[in-house]
């Protein structure tokens, strides 16, 4: 009898050793769609059911506090966008992907390249650029640079962001890249890197090529979309928050103590103390040409909510600010709610089964916080949608990405919302021989 039990145990062990790792993950699925109303009971939808995308105008009309024309923003602009900074969620838009002349909002990219070069150590704030005749000859908005004079990078950059100086833009471009054409190549490379698919630059200033005394030798159309501009501005303030030191300067004097002394107000008249001041506005860039109309890329923060805004093709200097104020008035009706904190488990999905893992259930959490602007009383219309990676297998490091989660509104994807990674809470160790036996016996 003892020989029989020994033989039986040996056969069980042999079968365990020859079983593929996936056998120990009977609960593992290749794809999961889990829709959990944020403040209700769990609802599970089929794994192969695709979620419809909720367009911005649908969000506005479906939202119970934005269902009337009086509550929706009525913006007089050829294109515009209002975007939540944290999530990328689009709250309002018109023709947001339409390429249009951006005028001096071009200088957002010029500033980005300059700050990249400062960050990398290739240039320094206190180093001096020698002004070329070509830069000195540029007119429109300017700080009246003269040929062969030496000006610090910081002074030129201040001119770029406060006075929207075209001569400063060209001087910076030439100093950094050797020529404006080479600098424009850097701008277009960065646009491609950032995924700005409706953007192409011909110069560093945003002037119409016809208005250059000596235009750069570049080809194509000089365009940006409202979406691309908002995305670029968001990337700029995220990567280079020092930009706010310049965008918040309300007034500045150039060439102080000389016959060329020039005191100017920031073209962004929504800053504190200026005629269109709006609470929380701290950037970023205006623009205007005959082709572009009057444009403005702004950002405003109140409490823990920040918005990015773009209006393009308004009809006057003042209109670009009044229309932006309408967008902010609409946006700040919303309250930013933290659905999940970084390191927190999703309700009803605190753990999953992973093939070949020592532990039967592996704890999973969100990698970063999920914050979303919602209107009062509308929480019940939001839900989670989870997707888990295929063929997960131990061992895995702590923080390994195993899936993603997004927030749905009335069962539909919210345009602009970026999925948030779901990660392992702890390291996932590989099961050894005895772990497998225990798991098999436990069922």
**What token pair was written down for 313?**
């093709």
- Please give the annotated binding residues for substrate, written as ranges: 285
Catalytic residue (choose from 86, 96, 107, 326): 107
Indicate the DSSP class of residue 294. Answer: E
Cβ atoms of residues 31 and 48 within 8 Å: yes
Task: List phi, psi (to 5°) of 293.
Answer: 75, -160
**Residues 228 and 199: beta-carbon distance below 8 Å:** yes
Active-site residue, from 79, 86, 96, 104 = 104
Strand 128-130 versus strand 150-152 pairing type: antiparallel
| Separation CA 181–CA 176 (nearest Å) | 11
384, 11 Cβ separation under 8 angstroms: no
* Best CA proximity match to 50, nearest among 382, 372, 385, 352: 385
383 is annotated as an active-site residue? no
Alpha carbon distance 252, 174 (integer Å): 24
Binding-site residues, please? 285
Is 438 considered catalytic here?
A: no
107 is catalytic: yes
Annotated active-site residue in 164, 204, 205, 288: 164
3-state secondary structure of 310: strand
- Cα separation values, 357 from 19, 343, 401, Å: 14, 21, 16
Active site amino acids: 104, 107, 164
């Amino acid at each position: 009898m003892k020989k029989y039990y020994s033989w039986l145990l040996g056969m069980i062990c042999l079968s365990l050793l020859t079983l593929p790792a996936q056998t120990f993950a009977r609960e593992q699925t290749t794809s999961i769609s889990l829709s959990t109303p944020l403040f209700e009971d769990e609802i599970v939808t089929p794994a192969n059911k695709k979620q419809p995308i909720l367009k911005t105008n649908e969000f506005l009309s479906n939202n119970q506090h934005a269902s009337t024309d009086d509550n929706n923003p009525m913006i007089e602009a050829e294109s515009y966008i209002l975007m939540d900074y944290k999530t990328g969620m689009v709250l309002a838009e018109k023709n947001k992907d339409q390429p249009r002349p951006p005028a001096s909002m071009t200088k957002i990219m010029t500033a980005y390249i300059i700050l990249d070069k400062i960050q990398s150590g290739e240039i320094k704030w206190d180093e001096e650029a020698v002004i070329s005749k070509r830069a000195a000859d540029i007119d429109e908005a300017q700080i009246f640079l003269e040929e062969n004079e030496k000006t610090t990078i910081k002074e030129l950059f201040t001119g770029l962001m406060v006075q929207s100086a075209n001569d400063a833009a060209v001087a910076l471009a030439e100093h950094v890249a050797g020529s404006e054409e080479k600098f424009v190549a850097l701008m277009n490379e960065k646009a491609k890197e950032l995924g700005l698919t409706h953007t192409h630059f011909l110069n560093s200033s945003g002037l119409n090529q016809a208005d250059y005394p000596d235009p750069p030798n570049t080809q194509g159309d000089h365009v940006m979309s409202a979406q691309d501009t908002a995305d670029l501005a968001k990337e700029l303030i995220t990567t280079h928050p020092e930009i706010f030191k310049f965008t918040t300067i309300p007034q500045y004097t150039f060439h102080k103590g000389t016959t060329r002394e020039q005191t100017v107000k920031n073209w962004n008249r929504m800053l504190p103390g200026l005629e269109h001041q709006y609470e929380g506005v701290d950037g970023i860039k205006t623009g205007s040409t005959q082709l572009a109309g009057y444009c403005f890329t702004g950002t405003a923060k109140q409490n823990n909510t920040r918005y990015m805004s773009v209006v393009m093709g308004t009809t006057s200097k003042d209109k670009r600010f009044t229309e932006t104020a309408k967008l902010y008035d609409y946006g700040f009706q919303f309250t930013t709610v933290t659905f999940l904190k970084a390191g927190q488990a999703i309700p009803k999905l605190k753990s999953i089964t992973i093939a070949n893992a020592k532990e039967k259930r592996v704890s999973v959490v969100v990698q970063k916080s999920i914050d979303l602007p919602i209107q009062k009383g509308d929480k019940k219309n939001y839900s989670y949608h989870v997707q888990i990676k295929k063929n997960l297998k131990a061992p895995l490091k702590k923080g390994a990405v195993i899936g993603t989660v997004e927030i749905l509104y009335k069962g539909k994807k919210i345009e602009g919302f970026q999925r948030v990674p779901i990660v392992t809470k702890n390291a996932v160790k590989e099961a050894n021989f005895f772990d497998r036996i225990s798991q098999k016996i436990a069922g």
